[in-house]
């Protein structure tokens, strides 16, 4: 009998223990095999343009003549590339605005000319300084003639020599003679040399402006810095110099000077967007559970775990402290141990961060903006200068990573509107020069066509910058536990259930009590039995 | 009276242990997904939970089929008989050394509380876990076609089911110790065999059939017309009859010498009037035409107090 028992036992053991576990082991190995196909990334519609340069620009007579200013070069370009100027004329690199229908039904052209931010606040009277990044020459105030194609700057995007620079304070013109701004010396461009070496834009062409938004490297976006000129794999898998070697326009594909992938912060409607799945398909993972996540989670959420991986980005700007002088009446400039500016009398207080974990919001691609004259409903609350629309209940919405730039900026307490102050200038009414909010506000408000009550205060504001660049290699992307845990990345996005993050405390307690109750009951029952025996 | 009984069939035992392991595995991975602890990593926990869920689904579907196909489902049909007694036993009787109010037999494996609990387990907990589990797996973002706003309600039901399963396992394992021989009962789920109390009456009935079937004495039964209704294996052997169908329905005269028929008819008519006889020497005519000797017993058979025929045994005896 004993022998038979043992035999049966072994049989049962085999059947119910070893077989299921063997199966799990086999399946696990299968999955591991599948997972090891890391390099088999399925890419669609992504072809690098490998066409050779069609013509040799150095042989054109017209490009051999002497150019005394950049506008002459532009005319030479257009003389062959006719109609291209009309394309640029319609593009936002030139217009700096777009026609949109606002929430209240108004059709308005919105852009830098009437939007407000919480960095340098507004172009308005300061346009001549901001337009060093305009694809044109001479845009110094609102009287600029947007129909004059001679004012277009072709080479800022098409120069392949790297020898072309627009000067910081020249309304988009390069210097006419050698000049120094801060640490950097600007030379008069050799237009003939540049004209002979033109082509498709490189990272350098785009980055020259886009990496320096806000007046310095990576100040504004956080995910666009000069680190991308020479990125490695960890910095950005796509732009990796030694790997994929992709440039901006490989994704931001351009058709007749109309670029795909508009900046979320300033593109109010969900149009001309650029998506990861355009190339990576909608089911890029081996694991189907991950693929189903793409329904509600944007690719960027997991694949850009941190931004500002190199140069720091500005995280806050408090204008309310601007104007402070030291005891002796001099202007203050303070820096932190890493040499980052933390206070300047003419600007206020800043904070900087690098390797920043993004914050997360719902987005359906639509954004609402504050423009000149919009009334602030509640000045005691934080004002969102750009509001990204979206919610869990909206089927078009996904969770996206954002940089939130927090500021305190001036507003008119009587009229409840943000003030676009006059900041840069040589006269006393420029805040930088006179440190007088009343004068600079009055000038700014007048220029913007707004009424200024003379009373002002400071309001807390937020700007949301969706994070789309600095994509991490797969091994550095977020892991499940980063969100599926208490105090994880999505801790602040409430209103729906995330396994691992959420639980019902009452239910959990009921469950624990049930288990303790049963264990206790069993223990008591058993003890009584033991003693009664 | 005790008897070693085959109580759990191969498939039942395989199902029981596979299910136990799967539930424990699902519990470990499931509570990791719930965020209760961190063991194998979240991604792996989800993956294994899904795989185990599929394995469990296959097991359950096959088990349902098996239960209906073999009729074993009748063990799980709840009955209200002895429920009170069983509860009283666990609350009071067990401490006084009382006996179990119900007996475990191969045709009634579970006590009424077990029936109720296992029925609830099969009808309520498992299907609810199955349905919520698959919604959880494939309806992550519940919008279309039915908007259930959030996974929350599904997740909470699934979690509650998991708690119930833990409670079930604790109670299940503890109640094993309330058996008279816990170790034996446990081994029964391993080997299938268990020493069980047997109802003497039932045991007797079962064995009598066995006794007649396997006896070396030939058994026969006739109706009141003298035609064969039934014979046993030994009878066929004694008569060198190859197949039962060759004899059923035939008159007894085909099995005898012509000379003996007269006395035999008298004997049977006496029996049909109510008499019994033991050890009558006779000569039989075998199916191969040869003759052999045996003694026979004969007695009447009754139905509703009326004699409907007769039966008896024959014992081969060449000596007479």
Inter-residue contact A370 to A115 (CB < 8 Å): yes
The tokens for B285 are 């005519």
Q: What is the pLDDT of residues A317-331, one digit of tens each?
A: 999 999 999 999 999
Burial of A44 (0-12, 13-18, 19+ CB in 10 A): exposed
Q: Give, for A362, the enclosing helix (H) or strand (E).
A: strand A359-363
Distance CA B4, CA B188 (A): 10
Mean confidence (pLDDT) of chain A: 89
Q: What tokens does B279 get?
A: 């050890």
Rounded to 5°, the CA angle B76-B80-B83 comes to: 95
For chain B, what is the domain count?
A: 2
β-strands B193-197, B218-223 pairing: unpaired
A466 neighbors A359 (Cβ within 8 angstroms)? no
Of A198-212, A392-406, B74-88, B230-244, the least confident = B74-88
Q: Are residues B162 and B275 in the same domain?
A: no
Residue A292, SS3 per DSSP: helix
Q: Which run of H or of E encompasses A384?
A: strand A383-384
What are the respective helix, strand and coil percentages of chain B, to the nearest 5? Answer: 55, 20, 30
Mean pLDDT, range B70-84, rounded to an integer: 84
Cα B45 from Cα B33, distance rounded (Å): 6
A160-182: average pLDDT: 88
Q: What is the mean pLDDT of residues A413-431?
A: 94
Question: Which pLDDT belongs to residue A49?
Answer: 59
Mean pLDDT value of segment A28-57: 67
Rounded Cα distance, A163 and A56, in Å = 19
CB A315: neighbour CB atoms within 10 A? 18
- Whether the Cβ atoms of residue B59 and residue B130 lie closer than 8 Å to each other: no
pLDDT in tens, B17-30: 999 999 999 999 99
Shortest Cα distance, chain A CAs vs residue B75, angstroms: 22
**Interchain contact, A23 vs B149, CB within 8 Å:** no
Encode pLDDT of B261-318 as tens digits.
888 888 888 998 889 998 888 889 888 888 899 999 999 999 988 999 999 999 988 8
Cα torsion A132, A138, A140, A145: sign: negative
CATH code assigned at B260: 3.30.450.20
Q: Do both B224 and B306 map to the same domain?
A: yes
CA distance A302 to A474: 9
Q: Copy the structure tokens of residue B237.
A: 């052997």
Residues 6+ apart with CB under 8 A from A155: A70, A73, A74, A77, A164, A189, A194, A195, A198
Angle between helices A19-35 and B42-70 (to 10 degrees): 140
Residue A265: its pLDDT value, please?
61
Minimum mean pLDDT among A54-58, A92-96, A291-295, A478-482: which range? A54-58
B151 with B68, same domain? yes
Q: How close is the nearest chain A Cα to the Cα of B164, in Å?
A: 8
Listed residue (A252, A172, A147) closest to A206, CA to CA: A252
Structure tokens at A478: 């977020």
Q: What CATH number is given to the structural domain containing B57?
A: 1.20.950.20
Tell whether B45 and B171 lie within a shared domain. Answer: yes
Q: Are residues B182 and B227 in the same domain?
A: no
**B141 and B17, same domain (yes or no):** yes
Q: What is the mean pLDDT of chain B?
A: 87
Of A237 and A13, the structure prediction assigns the larger pLDDT to: A237
* Partners of residue B125 in chain A, C-beta under 8 Å: none
Q: Check whether B118 has a pLDDT greater than 60.
A: yes
Q: Taking CA A353 as the corner, what is the angle to CA A351 and CA A358, rounded to the nearest 5 degrees?
A: 115
Predicted-complex ipTM score: 0.80
CA angle B307, B309, B313 (to 5 degrees): 125
Residues A132, A154: Cα–Cα separation, whole Å: 14
pLDDT over 60 at A2, yes or no: no
**A500/B42 touch (CB, cutoff 8 Å), yes or no:** yes
Residue B204 is assigned to a structural domain of this protein? no
Is there a domain that residue B203 lies in? no
Name A326's Cβ contacts closer than 8 Å, sequence gap at least 6.
A332
Side-chain-side CA neighbours of A92 within 13 Å: the count stands at 19
- Per the structure, the complete domain to which residue B107 belongs is given by 2-198
Q: Do B171 and A522 touch (CB under 8 A)?
A: yes
Instruction: Return d(Cα A435, Cα A441) in angstroms, integer.
Output: 11
Selecting from B21, B46, B152 the residue whose C-beta is nearest the C-beta of A16 gives B21
Dihedral class, residue A512 (left if φ above 0, else alpha if ψ from -120 to 50, else beta):
alpha
Say whether both B29 and B156 belong to one domain: yes
Q: What is the mean pLDDT of residues B1-22?
A: 88
The CA–CA distances, whole Å, from B148 to A158, A235, B157 equal 53, 41, 14
Mutate to test the interface with A, among B43, B144, B180, B188 (most CBs of A within 10 A): B43
A531 burial class (0-12, 13-18, 19+ CB within 10 angstroms)?
exposed
Neighbours of B65 (CB within 10 A): 10
Residues B194 and B233 grouped into a single domain = no
- Give A373-419 pLDDT, tens digit per residue: 999 999 999 999 999 999 988 888 999 999 999 999 999 999 999 99
- Confidence category of residue A40, pLDDT binned at 50, 70, 90: low
* Residue reference for tokens 């085999």: A14
Confidence class for position A313, pLDDT limits 50, 70, 90: very high
Do A139 and A172 contact (CB within 8 A), yes or no? yes
B140 in any annotated domain: yes
CA distance B141 to B131: 16
B49 with B155, same domain: the answer is yes
Contacts of B143 in chain A (CB under 8 A): 395
Instruction: Yes or no: say if A389 and A367 are a contact pair by the CB < 8 Å rule.
Output: yes
Residues 6 or more apart whose Cβ sits within 8 Å of residue A160 = A197, A198, A199, A202
Residue A523 class from Cβ within 10 Å (0-12 exposed, 13-18 middle, 19+ buried)? exposed
Q: pLDDT tens-digit profile of B196-223? A: 877 788 788 888 888 898 899 999 999 9
Q: Is the confidence at residue A439, as pLDDT, over 90?
A: yes
User: A485: which chain B residues are within 8 Å (Cβ-Cβ)?
Assistant: 35, 42
Which sign, positive or negative, has the C-alpha torsion A307, A313, A319, A324? positive
**Residue of A29, A487, A499, A525 for testing the chain B interface, max B β-carbons within 10 Å:** A499
Parallel, antiparallel, or unpaired: how do β-strands A456-466 and A398-412 relate? antiparallel
Cα dihedral A371, A373, A377, A383 sign: positive
Q: Hey, are the CB atoms on B34 and A31 less than 8 Å from each other?
A: no
Residue A509 is inside which H or E element, if any? helix A505-532
pLDDT higher than threshold 60 for residue A292? yes
The rounded distance, in Å, linking the Cα atoms of A500 and B28 is: 14
Inspect the interface and report whether the beta carbons of B34 and A499 lie closer than 8 Å: yes
Mean of the pLDDT values across residues A430-450?
Answer: 94
Residue A30 CB contacts under 8 Å (≥ 6 apart), including other chains: none
Lowest mean pLDDT among A226-240, A265-279, A453-467: A265-279
Closest to A221 measured CA to CA, from A185, A263, A249: A263
**Burial environment of residue B125 by CB neighbours within 10 A (0 to 12, 13 to 18, 19 or more):** middle
Give the residue-averaged pLDDT of A112-120.
Answer: 92
Shortest Cα–Cα distance, A31 to chain B (Å): 9
| Average pLDDT rounded to a whole number, residues A204-216 | 92
What is the pLDDT averaged over residues B78-97?
84
Least confident interval from A6-15, A323-332, B232-241: A6-15
3-state secondary structure of A412: strand
Q: Where are the domains of chain A?
A: 1-37, 57-483, 505-533
Which pLDDT does position A320 carry in this prediction? 95
């Amino acid at each position: 009998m004993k022998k038979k028992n043992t035999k049966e036992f072994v049989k049962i053991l085999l059947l119910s223990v070893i077989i299921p576990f063997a199966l799990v082991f086999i399946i696990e190995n299968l999955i591991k095999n599948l997972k090891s196909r890391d390099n088999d990334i399925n890419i669609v519609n992504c072809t690098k343009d490998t066409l050779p340069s069609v013509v040799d620009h150095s042989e054109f007579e017209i490009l051999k003549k002497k150019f005394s200013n950049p506008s002459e070069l532009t005319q030479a370009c257009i003389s062959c590339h006719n109609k291209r100027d009309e394309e640029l004329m319609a593009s936002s690199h030139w217009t700096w605005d777009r026609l949109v229908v606002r929430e209240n039904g108004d059709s308005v052209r919105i852009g830098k000319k009437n939007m407000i931010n919480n960095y340098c606040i507004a172009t308005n009277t300061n346009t001549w300084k901001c337009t060093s990044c305009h694809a044109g020459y001479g845009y110094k105030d609102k009287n600029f003639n947007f129909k004059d194609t001679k004012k277009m700057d072709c080479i800022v995007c098409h120069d392949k020599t790297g020898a072309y620079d627009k000067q910081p304070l020249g309304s988009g013109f390069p210097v006419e003679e050698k000049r120094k701004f801060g640490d950097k010396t600007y030379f008069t461009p050799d237009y003939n040399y540049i004209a002979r070496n033109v082509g498709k834009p490189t990272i350098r062409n785009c980055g020259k402006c886009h990496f320096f938004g806000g007046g310095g490297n990576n100040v504004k976006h956080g995910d666009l810095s000069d680190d991308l000129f020479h990125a490695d794999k960890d910095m950005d898998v796509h732009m990796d110099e030694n790997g994929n070697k992709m440039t901006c326009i490989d994704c931001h594909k351009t058709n007749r000077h109309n670029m795909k992938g508009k900046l979320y912060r300033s593109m109010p409607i969900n149009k001309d967007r650029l998506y990861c799945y355009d190339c990576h398909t909608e089911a890029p993972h081996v694991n189907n559970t991950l693929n189903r996540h793409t329904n509600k989670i944007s690719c960027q959420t997991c694949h850009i775990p941190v931004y500002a991986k190199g140069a720091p980005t500005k995280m806050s700007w408090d204008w309310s402290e601007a104007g402070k002088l030291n005891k002796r009446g001099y202007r203050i400039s303070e820096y932190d141990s890493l040499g980052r500016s933390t206070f300047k009398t003419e600007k206020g207080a800043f904070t900087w961060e690098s390797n920043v974990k993004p914050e997360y919001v719902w987005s359906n691609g639509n954004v609402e903006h504050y423009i000149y004259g919009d009334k602030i409903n509640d000045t005691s609350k934080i004002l969102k200068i750009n509001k990204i629309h979206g919610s869990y209940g909206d089927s078009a919405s996904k969770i996206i990573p954002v940089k939130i730039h927090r500021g305190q900026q001036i507003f008119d307490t009587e009229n409840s509107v943000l003030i676009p102050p006059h900041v840069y200038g040589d006269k006393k009414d420029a805040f930088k020069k006179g440190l007088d909010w009343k004068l600079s506000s009055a000038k700014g408000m007048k220029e913007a066509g707004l009424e200024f009550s003379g009373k002002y205060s400071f309001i807390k504001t937020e700007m949301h910058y969706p994070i789309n660049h600095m994509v991490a290699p797969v091994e550095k992307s977020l892991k499940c536990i980063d969100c599926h845990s208490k105090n994880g990345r999505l801790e602040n996005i409430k209103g729906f259930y995330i396994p691992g993050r959420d639980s019902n405390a009452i239910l959990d307690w009921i469950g624990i009590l049930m288990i303790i109750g049963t264990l206790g009951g069993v223990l008591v029952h058993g003890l009584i039995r033991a003693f009664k025996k | 009276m005790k008897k070693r009984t085959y109580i759990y069939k191969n498939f039942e035992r395989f199902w029981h242990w596979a299910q136990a392991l799967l539930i424990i595995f699902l519990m470990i991975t499931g509570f990791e997904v719930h965020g209760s602890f961190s063991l194998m990593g979240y991604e792996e926990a989800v993956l294994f939970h899904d795989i185990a869920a599929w394995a469990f689904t296959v097991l359950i579907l096959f088990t349902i089929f098996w239960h209906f196909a073999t009729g074993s489902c009748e063990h799980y049909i709840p009955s209200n008989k002895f429920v009170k007694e069983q509860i009283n036993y666990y609350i009071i009787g067990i401490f006084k050394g009382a006996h179990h109010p119900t007996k475990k037999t191969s045709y009634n494996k579970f006590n009424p509380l077990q029936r109720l609990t296992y029925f609830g387990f099969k009808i309520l907990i498992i299907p609810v876990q199955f349905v919520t589990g698959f919604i959880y797996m494939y309806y992550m973002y519940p919008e279309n076609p039915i908007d259930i706003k959030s996974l929350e309600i599904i997740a909470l039901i699934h979690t509650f089911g998991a708690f119930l399963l833990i409670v079930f396992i604790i109670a299940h394992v503890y109640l094993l110790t309330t058996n008279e021989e816990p170790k034996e009962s446990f081994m029964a789920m391993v080997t299938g065999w268990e020493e069980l109390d047997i109802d003497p009456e039932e045991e007797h009935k079962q064995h009598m059939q066995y006794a007649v079937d396997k006896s070396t004495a030939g058994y026969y039964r006739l109706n009141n017309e003298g035609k064969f209704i039934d014979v046993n294996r030994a009878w066929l052997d004694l008569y060198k009859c190859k197949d039962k169908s060759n004899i059923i329905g035939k008159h007894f005269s085909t099995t005898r010498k012509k000379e003996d028929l007269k006395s035999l008819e008298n004997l049977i008519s006496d029996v049909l009037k109510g008499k019994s006889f033991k050890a009558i020497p006779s000569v039989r005519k075998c199916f191969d035409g040869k003759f052999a000797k045996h003694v026979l017993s004969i007695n009447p058979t009754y139905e509703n107090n009326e004699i409907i025929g007769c039966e008896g045994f024959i014992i081969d005896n060449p000596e007479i």
